[in-house]
Structures are given as C-alpha cells and as structure tokens.
Amino acid sequence: MLQTLIEWDKELLLFFNGYHSLYADQVMWVVTGKIIWIPLILSFVYLFFKRGWREGLLAVIMVAVAVVLCDQISSGICKPLFERWRPTQDPEFSQYVNVVNGYRGGRYGFISGHAANAFGIALFSIMLFRNRFFSFSVIVWALLSCYSRMYLGVHYPGDILFGAIAGALSGYICYVIYEKLHAKIFKDIPIPYKGDKNVKISMYVLYITYIAILILAPLINFKIK
C-alpha cells in the first residue's frame, strides 16, 4: 500500500512538473522566493500595530512563533527523521524531473517548509481577521506558493500535503495560545482584528503583488532569489 502511494505521489509530481514554458518558469521562480512576499508580511505588521503597540507586539510574536514552529517541524524534525529525497535529488528519479535554473533544493524534502509556513501564516491570519474574502485570498496565496514547489520539482505532492497539514495545525495552536494570552493580558477587551475592515489593505497588497509578478517576472534575473 505504501509503495502504491509513493508511485502515485511520483506520478502526480510529474504531472505538476511536466508542463513548462520560459514565462511560467520565471513566474514560478519569483513566486517560490521569499523576498516577493515581504510586502504582504509588512502589511500584516502595519495592521497589527495600528491597534496599538501592545496589541501589535503580541500578534507579531505569535506569528513569529508559528513560523519558527513550522520551520522546526519541517527542517528540525521531519526531514532528518524521514530522509525522503527531494524529486530533484533522488538518484533514481531526478532524471525525469524538469529543473529550473539549476535549482534542486536541499537533499531531503519531507515535509515542505514552504507549505508549512504558508499554511501556518494563512490559518493564523484567517482566524485572526475572520474576513471571508481575505480568507479566500490568503488561501490562494498559500496554494500558489505550494504549487510553485511542485512546478520546480523540489517537492512531491505528499511533501506539500503533510507540510500544509503541519502548518495549519501550527497556525491553529498558535492562534489558540494567542487568544488565551490576549484574554489574560487585555482582560475583557475583545480581539480588535476580528472583522477589521482595514484587512482590505493586505488584500490590495496581495493582488498588487500578483499583478507585479505576472508583469515583471520576465525581467527578473534568474539568479536573484
């Protein structure tokens, strides 16, 4: 059964990795990087501190904890524990994988740190803001980040799936802790971000970033990551 799942995982990876174009290569190369998403993170920080420095500091700390937790689960525990080759590093499989710009990632890929971080941040922010359109937008962002990893051939779908689950659980746990800390620190004051209309700022930043990537990606040197 396990071997069958592994074979399906490989077939799915080849499906996601099998169709390439120069333009799509450049777009996915930019999407998979971390620098391009800094404006979104900064928009979160702005929204957090807009409600006061104490509110902002608590929210920022808990987001940071979620990211560290995702990184530790992925790189500190799962990758050295399972030692599952990345598709681009597997001596018996890498020949079938399309590689973009010579990028192969580290040796092991289970679970995906990108997927864990994306879904950790996504779920924490979804529970924090409780805005339907924002929730849809940030999930699209997380899925796009995950897809880029399969497109580039550096993660199997299974790496992505379990990374997303680990990230979502981390985001949920950190939000529960945040909620308890908020109640203890601010007493009866409700969490100010729920239903905050200012969250549209982050949505604008997100969609402007998408547009910028689609227009400017062909102009970005592949060596910049």
How confident is the chain (225 residues) per 10-residue block, as mean pLDDT? 86 92 92 89 95 95 97 96 95 93 93 96 96 94 96 97 98 97 91 91 94 86 47
Instruction: Identify whether 165 is part of a domain.
Output: yes
Instruction: Identify whether 53 is part of a domain.
Output: yes
Instruction: Identify whether 74 is part of a domain.
Output: yes
Q: Which residues contact 96 (CB under 8 A, 6 or more apart)?
A: 14
Residue 99 CB-density burial (10 A; 0-12 exposed, 13-18 middle, 19+ buried): middle
- Residue 156 backbone zone (phi > 0: left; psi -120 to 50: alpha; other: beta): beta
Report the domain count for the chain: 1
Instruction: Identify whether 96 is part of a domain.
Output: no
Structural domain boundaries, residue 180: 30-91+107-219
Which amino acid, one-letter code, is at 71?
D
Instruction: Identify whether 131 is part of a domain.
Output: yes
Instruction: Identify whether 138 is part of a domain.
Output: yes
